[in-house]
Structure 1
C-alpha cells in the first residue's frame, strides 16, 4: 500500500477525529457532572428560575438539588440535561403516608415533567432526627413514593431516598468506630434496609465546618479545609491515615452502615459547604479554599473507599438573605446578582 496523500489522509482521519471528539466530550461531561450544586430559594432577591438554569449551564454544573417542587424551576429545567434531586419538605411527609397522595405527588411533580427533566433522586425529608415528630412518617412516605415511581415504570431511572446529617452517628473517632446511636438505630435501620432492597443510595449532608466550630480545641482549621500537610489522624483499623476532616466524617458513616448490615450501600453527599461570613472561621478565603479543595478531592474517594468518586452537592448556589442565623445567609457560591464569589471550576 502506498503512502496517503494529504487529501486521502484528511478523508481517512476525519471519522477517527469525529469519534475521538465524541469520546472526549463524553469524558468531559462525566467530569462536569461529578459535582452538583444545591439551589436553595430562601431569599427575596434571587434571579429568575430561567436565569438560574442558564447560570448552571454556563458554569458546567451538571447536577442540582432542590428542596421542594417548584413549577417555574421544573419548567426551566426542561431540556437542560441537568440531573435533579427533588426534595419533599418534612412538613409534607405525614400527608404522603397516604398512598393516593403519594401517587398524586409523583404525577404532579415527576411524571408531568419526565423525561424533559432528568430526575435522579427523590429526597423524602431532610435531616429528620431521632425524636422529631416526623420520624414515624419518613419510611411510609418513602415506600409510597417509591411504589408510585414503580407504577410509572421509572424505578430504574429515579431512586427514592432521604437525606440525613452526620449527627446520627456516634463514636466517630477514629472513623472505624462510627456507629448509629441507640436513638437513631430504630429509625434509620429500616430505612437502610429499604434503600438496599431498592438499589438506592443514602443521602448525607456532610459539613466539616460545623464539626470544626463545634470543637476547635481538638480540630485544626487546616484539617477542616483540606490543607493539612500530612496525616492528622491514624485509624488503627487498616492503618488508614486521614489528612482531612471530610474523609473522617464520611468514613465514620460508612463504618456505621457496615455495623448496620449495609457495607455496600452507596453514600451521596447531598450537601457540603462553608460560609463566607457571619460566624467563626468564616471568610471568603476560607470558603473558597474549602470549595476548591472539596471539588478536587471527591474525585478520589476516601481512605475507606479509595478510588471511588463521591457524588457530591455543594451548598449552595446563592447567598440566601432570609435564613438565620447570620452565617446561614452566606453559603452561596454566587451572589444574588449572579457574580461568582470564588474562582472555582465545577468540573474539577
Structure 2
C-alpha cells in the first residue's frame, strides 16, 4: 500500500509539474506575442523594405508599427502574417476631418491591402497636444479624423478586426505621483475627454508612448537609474498597498488612474512606443539601452501593481538607428544597425520556461512582502 501511495504521489506531482510547465509555456507565448517593434524610415542607409520584413520574420517579431501608409512597405507586408499598427500622419489630420476624405484614405491604404496585410490598429495622429506649440494647431482635427476613420472601418464591416485610436505621449499627464493620484493636465481635458469617450464607445485601447528614459533624464535627482532600467533590487516607492520597483509600472499606473478620472477606466492601454537611446545624450550607453530593452520585454508579460497579471501589448522603439533624425539622441534608438546586425541580441520570442517561472516566483515573493 505504501508503495502504491508513493507511486500515486509521484504521478500526481509529475502531473502538476507538467501542468505548470504547460501554463508557463502559454504565458511565455503570450508574452512573446505582446512585443512588437516600430519601423521608422528616417534614414538614408536603411535596408530595402523586403529585407526589413525578412528581418522581422527571422527574429520572430510578429507586430510592426509604421508611421504612414508607405505603399512599398504595405506591398511587402502582404502575406507576411505580421500584425500592423498603421499611422495616420499628423499632416493628414486636417484632411481626414472630412468624412469623404477619410473614406478614401481607408479605401486606398487599408481596404486595398486587407486581408493580405493584417492591420491591427490605425493610430490617428501621433503625440498631438493642444498645449504643444508644434502640434497645437492640429488638436481640433484629431477627434473628427478619429471618428471618420472609425466610421469608414465600421462601414467596411471591420470594426471588430481593426481598432482605431490615437497615440499620446505622457506630457498630457499633469500629476503622476503617487500613481494612484495620476491625472491629466487641466488644460488638455477638453481635448482629451471626448476622445476617451469615443474610445470607450468603440471599445478601442488608448495608445501611449511611454519612455522612462525621458522621465529619468529630466529628473535624475529624484529618479534613480536602476528604477528607470528595471534593475532596482527592491521596492522603491509605496502607494498604499502597491509597491513600485520600476518607473515603467509607476508611469503606466499613473496613466490608468488618469483615465479613471476621465471616465476611461475601462480602457486598455497599448504601449505604442518605448525605448532607450544608446548614445547622444545624458545616461545613454549601449549597456543601459540593452538592459532596458531586455528587461522591458520580460516585464510587460506580467502587468502592473494596479492591473496585475495582464500582459501589456508593447512596441519597442525602434527597428533601426535613423541617421536623418534630430537631435543626435534621436538617431540612436535602433535595435538593429542599418546593416541588419542586431545591437543587443534581444529575444523577441520570449523567455524559456524556467526563466518565466523564476520571474513568476520572484513576483510571488514580492507580493508576499507587501
Normalising by the residue count of structure 1, what TM-score does the alignment of the two structures yield?
A: 0.91
Partner of 2:199: 195
Mapped partners of 1:24, 1:83: distance in 2 = 24
Give secondary structure in 2 for the equivalent of 1:234. Answer: strand
Partner residue, 1:10: none
1:241 aligns with 2:240: no
Cα separation, 1, equivalents of 2:298 and 2:26: 19
Counterpart mapping for 1:34-53 below 5 A: 34-53=34-53
Partner residue, 1:141: 145
Provide, for residues 55-88 of structure 1, a one-character-per-residue CA deviation record: whole Å limited to 9, x for no partner.
Answer: 0000000100000001110011111110000001
* Deviation of 1:25 (Å): 10
| Superposition map of 1:320-339 within 5 A | 320-339=322-341
Aligned residue for 1:219? 223
Counterparts of residues 110-259 of structure 1 (less than 5 Å): 110-131=110-131, 132-236=136-240, 239-259=241-261
Q: In 2 relative to 1, CA 40–177 (structure 1 residues): closer, same or farther, beyond 3 Å? A: same
Deviation of the 1:206 alpha carbon: 0.1
1-structure distance, mates of 2:26, 2:300: 19
Specify the alignment match of 1:291 in structure 2: 293
Contact 1:295 1:346 in 2 (8 A): yes
Cα deviation for residue 128 of structure 1 reads 0.4
- Does residue 305 (structure 1) correspond to residue 279 (structure 2)? The answer is no
- The whole-number CA distance in structure 1 between the counterparts of 2:54 and 2:232 is 36
Distance of 1:325 and 1:315 partners within structure 2? 16
How much does 1:48 deviate?
0.4
Match of 1:84 in 2: 84
| Change in 2 beyond 3 A, CA 1:29/1:72 | farther
Cα offset, 1:184, TM superposition: 1.1
Question: What is the aligned partner in structure 2 of residue 56 from structure 1?
Answer: 56
Q: What CA RMSD, in Å, does the superposition of the two structures yield over aligned residues?
A: 1.5
What TM-score does the superposition give when structure 2 sets the normalisation length?
0.86
Name 1:340's counterpart in structure 2: 342
CA distance in 2, matches of 1:215, 1:24: 38
CA contact (8 A) 1:203 1:269 kept: yes
